[in-house]
Structure 1
Amino acid sequence: MNLQITPIQGTGAIDSDITVSRDCYLVQVEMHLSVAPSATQALLLTKKSGAAIFDTVISSDDMNGETDFLWKLPEPVIFANGDQLNIVYPNAASATVGIKVYFSDTK
């Protein structure tokens, strides 16, 4: 299994696009916050495939009171060459955020 791990980190709002350069599978997303938010804040994972009409929300999760997030499905999500994973998190508390995204060539 060839695993590609993409790290994202920061202290402000997160709005990152990861573009894949080959056909692959999204297998896991991990996120850690240094401080748990005390209000509703959604972490949004969206698959972008060409035109906006094909964008698909993979996950939308409320991080209120949480410092850790692990996203994993029983079956990985297929990404074609050029598809993007968009990760959005408002981070109103300006917590330190660490995100790791795992793509694999095989299921």
Structure 2
Amino acid sequence: MSTNKTPPPFIYRDWCIQDPVFDVRKYGLDPDDNPDLYYWNGWLWKREQGEFKPLAPISESELDEDVQRRLQRWRETGLMPLDESDPEQVQRAKEEWEKRVWSAPNPW
């Protein structure tokens, strides 16, 4: 979780998680509104009219268990940096996505 109360500028990454939160009511949102939510870099983000706006810092323990496992697996396999502010780690993760995910044969 980010201890910084000021959100970083949003940068879309392959490892952004869409619909990450199990209970959106905690953040003052109505699940019936179907908010477009993302988890990235210790923050919960809402996309409105193509722009990403920070809602709140969020602990990964608040995320759905499946999302927590996915983030852990991505870190272990190099698909996600341990430190989003380290440009070298970010670049390595991008390269890993290109090598392992985006270059994989299309199963369809």
Query: Would you call these one fold, judging by a TM-score over 0.5?
Result: no
Name the TM tier (shorter chain): under 0.3
Length-normalised TM-score, structure 1: 0.28
Length-normalised TM-score, structure 2: 0.28
Larger Cα-atom Rg: 2
Hey, which of these two has a bigger chunk of strand by percent?
Answer: 1
Hey, which of these two has a bigger chunk of helix by percent?
Answer: 2
| Bigger relative contact order (CA 8 A; separation at least 6) | 1
